[in-house]
Amino acid sequence: MFLETSILIGLIVPGDTIVIVSATGVANPFEYWSLIVVVIIGSLAGESVGFLLGRYFGPRLRASRLGARIGHRNWERAEHYLARRGGPAVFISRFLPVLHALIPLTVGMSPMSYRRFISWTAPACTVWAFAYISVAAAAAEGYRSLADRLHYAGYLFVGAIVLFLLVAALIRWLLHRRELRHMNRADDPGEH
């Protein structure tokens, strides 16, 4: 989780995948709460490092080969989105692919203070961690309790995870559509 937003690993290996796989191993309340705490702390630490990297190295990172691979348009959208939405952009971006990895760096390059950034990202990281861990852990527990009695329990487990991922993808898509007008400049034809 730490690496997801601190050094853009989330563009390659999404944190969603890591959390879901980890949560399927949760077998008791202690493991559940421990995973919640670790994921939230890892997320906040990664977001904080991303913010600091943006603050001290942002323009150089953006101009680097890695920055070029991310794409000028993605950087520009993140900057414009942050400029138009401020704190809510930080919160909502936690649930949007690509922007999620770029926002901490972008905020670091902006005038937004760390205190304001963390006050928006902490609740987002908490909601995100609870949602993903709770669903994956519940699906795994359901599988474990039904595996001996139902030969198709594995299908139910996979179905529950797939259903959650589809709902999460739908929510992301709806959020992205709703927020798209804030990401693009008024003269950007991609806005409509």
pLDDT tens across the length of the chain (192 residues): 777 766 666 666 677 888 888 888 888 999 999 999 999 999 999 899 999 999 999 889 888 888 888 888 888 888 888 888 889 989 988 888 777 888 899 999 999 999 999 999 999 999 999 998 998 888 878 777 666 666 666 677 677 777 877 887 787 787 777 776 666 654 454 444
Contact at 8 Å (CB) between 72 and 79?
Answer: no
The helix/strand count (H/E) of the chain reads as 9, 0
The angle that helices 72-85 and 99-109 make with each other, rounded to 10 degrees, is: 70
Handedness of CA 57, 62, 67, 68 (dihedral sign): negative
- pLDDT for res 191: 43
Where are the domains positioned within the chain?
Answer: 2-191
- pLDDT for res 38: 95
Contact at 8 Å (CB) between 47 and 59?
Answer: no
Contacts of 174 (CB under 8 A, 6+ apart): none
Contact at 8 Å (CB) between 94 and 50?
Answer: no
Instruction: Say what the pTM is.
Output: 0.76
